[in-house]
Amino acid sequence: MVNNLYSISIKLTKKQKAAYLGIFWFDANLKKIIFVQKKNVDECVDIGGGWISANYDHADYWKTLDKSEIKEMGGIPSNYRSLPRGKVEYDKSSGKFVVFVGDSINDYLLSCIEVEFKLPMANWTYEKNDDYNVSKAT
């Protein structure tokens, strides 16, 4: 069952409440985040297992994007897995925000994600996850 954060009774600091959860794609060559879908943490849901999530899906959101906005990439792949991507969720057990990403991540892009999602300094971490590695499949 999915519950609104208000019904979960976890205590967040003001800085934590200002943060966002969601999904993103980035271009490691251009060193920038290119697409983002996010929600304020107060609007997110308990997805079970001790996690709070914006509950967005990369595959579904990819279909709705206006990909013409990033012409400098030299063409947009048709498959959402063809670009580096990730998500930000909140781990209730550790009290930290977690950025899930693939192997294409670097320190600069992590700092961009920190700013984009307003993650509280020293209250977030990242985990590499094979699910977010680039796939050559179309």
Question: pLDDT of 30-85, one tens digit each?
Answer: 788 988 999 999 899 999 999 999 999 999 998 887 766 655 555 667 788 888 99
**pTM of the complete model:** 0.85
| C-alpha–C-alpha distance, residues 101 and 104, integer Å | 8
- The two tokens of residue 112 are 């961009």
Q: Is residue 135 scored above 70 in pLDDT? A: yes
Which of the four pLDDT bands, split at 50, 70 and 90, describes residue 16? confident
Q: Which residue has the higher pLDDT, 1 or 132?
A: 132
Share of the chain above pLDDT 70, in %: 83
Amino acid 55: pLDDT: 93
Average pLDDT of the residues of the chain: 85
- The two tokens of residue 34 are 């290119």
Q: Which residue has the higher pLDDT, 103 or 28?
A: 103
Amino acid 96: pLDDT: 95
Q: CB–CB of 47/55 below 8 Å?
A: yes
Amino acid 137: pLDDT: 56
Q: Which residue has the higher pLDDT, 36 or 136?
A: 36
| C-alpha–C-alpha distance, residues 98 and 88, integer Å | 6
Q: Which residue has the higher pLDDT, 58 or 5?
A: 58
Instruction: Mention every residue, 6+ apart, whose C-beta is less than 8 A from residue 58.
Output: 23, 25, 80, 81, 85, 87
Q: CB–CB of 20/39 below 8 Å?
A: yes
